[in-house]
Amino acid sequence: MVIDKSDVPHIAFISGNALTYGLLTDGQWFLDTISEDNSINWYYGTSIAVTESGNVHIIYTKNYMVPGSPIEYGSVWWATNSSGIWQTTEICPGSGGKIILDSLNKPQVVSIANDGGLQLSGFDGDQWTTQDVLPALGLKGSVQYPDITFDSEGNINLFFIYFPDTSTANGIPVHALFDGEFWVKDFFDSSTKPHFDLSAARSGSTINVLYAEWFNHDTLRVRWAHASDIKLVTIQSTTNGSNLREFTVIRTGNLDKPLRVYYYLSEIDYNWLDYFNYHFVVIPAGLVSTNIKIYHPLGRGSNSIKIVLLPNPAYRLTKPSSATLLIK
Amino acid sequence: MKYANKILVCTILILLYPALSYGDWQFHDEFVSLKEFPGGFDPQRVVIDKSGYPHFIAVASEFQEGNLGSSLFEYYFTGKRWENTFLQSNMSSSVAFAMDSKDHKHLIFQEAPFPGECIYPP
């Protein structure tokens, strides 16, 4: 169910072997059968989104049986009335998932691949493209309960229960962020007990996720986790003294907590083993900035030092995200 | 040996990145006894109200065996702790829940076996 800007509820549900859309108008539910297919095994996994102008987007899964085989497979479909009539399109093989609309009302869909992987599909106004997300995150295994939400800057945030070992039930919650260039993963909950029933939502500048965990044999833990998404981080060079090179890392947003900012430092024309390293710096609570000080012996072979800030789910980078200082 | 150690340290750091996390997340937990709900307890999709607090519908069953229907509870966070309200018994597991711009709650559920709908203000 989704509520539109006029506070009208819209629903999508499965009734028998049919996908049905419902709209509450003047106290009466108007129901419309969108897709009916008795040749498939069953429908399931609906998710619905509505634009401000009232156009409806629905995803659903068709489950098929391989003829002469007990093997089943799924296919994720999209239904929309944006053109004035209901049209359905197959997005990709897979199942389940959730649909959301970006600022241009283009749908984004997260779903589970038939091999258990995580896939993100986007519609550019003409066609759907689907990407396999787990390899981009450096992960292998399978997922369940995928969900998707945008943050306040329009970046895609995925949440899912990740099973590194498909032979066990010990799935762990993972947050993945795509900032338009990089995918970043965040194991934000250190518990490795079995997790399930994950869902996510954005409220203002806060990302929320709710999930359950088998805490012990007779107790469940339901956990609400939330984080602010509006910390912007940038860098500038400040000092170019005789043997001191100083950079300032600056943040915006809530200053209540310290913020750890990751970067790599490269020293051009010098031994990369010594000076191409990953580091972090902590901006203390209450402060908007901190300095990275690099004391450099004169006479060494390099001629510049460059610091490149690295993305992390705890903050968003804004330009400039790198700075260079000459040494000689 | 000197460079081997540095290569090892660099490799570990590169492998750790970008899995490193500062832990900016805040957690609020609610514990549910399965002795009370031996048939299962399933939190449905989270909904955030205008104050930024979460609500969810839980489908809980007191019965481990048989098709005797489940009970619906609304769980919500008050700012200090989780509270819950009993809504209905003898429900199926099909539930949809949303909140509108006035924080009015919309709940659609399926009775066992008849469909039903309920909309109520907070």
Residues in chain A: 328
Contact residues, chain A, for B7 at CB < 8 Å: 273
In chain B, domain spans? 24-120
ipTM above 0.85, yes or no: no
B118 near B104, Cβ under 8 Å?
no
Alpha carbons A262 and A116: distance in angstroms, whole number: 32
Encoding tokens for residue B122? 């907070």
Alpha carbons A259 and A288: distance in angstroms, whole number: 10
> Minimal Cα–Cα distance from A67 to chain B, Å?
30
Q: Does A280 touch chain B (CB under 8 A)?
A: yes
Encoding tokens for residue B11? 């490799």
**Architecture of the CATH domain A232-326:** Sandwich (2.60)
Collect all residues with Cβ–Cβ distance below 8 Å to A50 and sequence separation of at least 6: A2, A4, A10, A56, A57
> Minimal Cα–Cα distance from A106 to chain B, Å?
22
Q: Does A225 touch chain B (CB under 8 A)?
A: yes
Contact between A5 and B101 using a beta-carbon 8 Å cutoff: yes
Contact between A224 and B108 using a beta-carbon 8 Å cutoff: no
Contact between A197 and B97 using a beta-carbon 8 Å cutoff: no
Residues in chain B: 122
Omega before residue A70 within 30° of 0, cis = no
Q: Does B86 touch chain A (CB under 8 A)?
A: no
- What's A284's DSSP letter? P
Contact between B20 and A219 using a beta-carbon 8 Å cutoff: no
Q: Does A26 touch chain B (CB under 8 A)?
A: no
Contact between B44 and A197 using a beta-carbon 8 Å cutoff: yes
Contact residues, chain B, for A197 at CB < 8 Å: 42-44
B27 near A193, Cβ under 8 Å?
no
**Least CA distance to A219: which residue of chain B?**
B33
Q: Does B47 touch chain A (CB under 8 A)?
A: yes
Contact between A312 and B75 using a beta-carbon 8 Å cutoff: no
Contact between A199 and B22 using a beta-carbon 8 Å cutoff: no
**Least CA distance to A188: which residue of chain B?**
B23
Q: Does B32 touch chain A (CB under 8 A)?
A: yes
Q: Convert the pLDDT of each residue in A97-141 to its tens digit.
A: 999 999 999 999 999 999 999 999 999 999 999 999 999 999 999
Q: Does B35 touch chain A (CB under 8 A)?
A: yes
Report the candidate in A216, A220, A175, A219 with the shortest Cα–Cα distance to residue A196. Answer: A220
> Minimal Cα–Cα distance from B97 to chain A, Å?
7
Q: Does A114 touch chain B (CB under 8 A)?
A: no
Q: Does A150 touch chain B (CB under 8 A)?
A: no
DSSP-H helix ranges across B42-108 = none
Q: What is the full per-residue pLDDT of chain A (328 aa) written as tens digits?
A: 999 999 999 999 988 788 999 999 888 999 999 988 877 777 888 999 999 999 999 999 998 887 777 778 899 999 999 999 999 999 999 998 999 999 999 999 999 999 999 999 999 999 999 999 999 999 999 999 999 999 887 889 999 999 998 788 889 999 998 877 778 888 889 888 889 999 999 998 889 999 999 998 899 999 999 987 767 788 888 766 667 788 999 987 777 788 899 998 876 554 444 455 678 999 999 898 999 888 765 455 556 788 889 887 678 787 788 888 876 6
Q: Does A230 touch chain B (CB under 8 A)?
A: no
- If phi > 0 it is left, if psi is from -120 to 50 it is alpha, else beta; for residue A269 that is left
Q: Which fold has domain A2-228?
A: Neuraminidase (2.120.10)
In chain A, domain spans? 2-228, 232-326
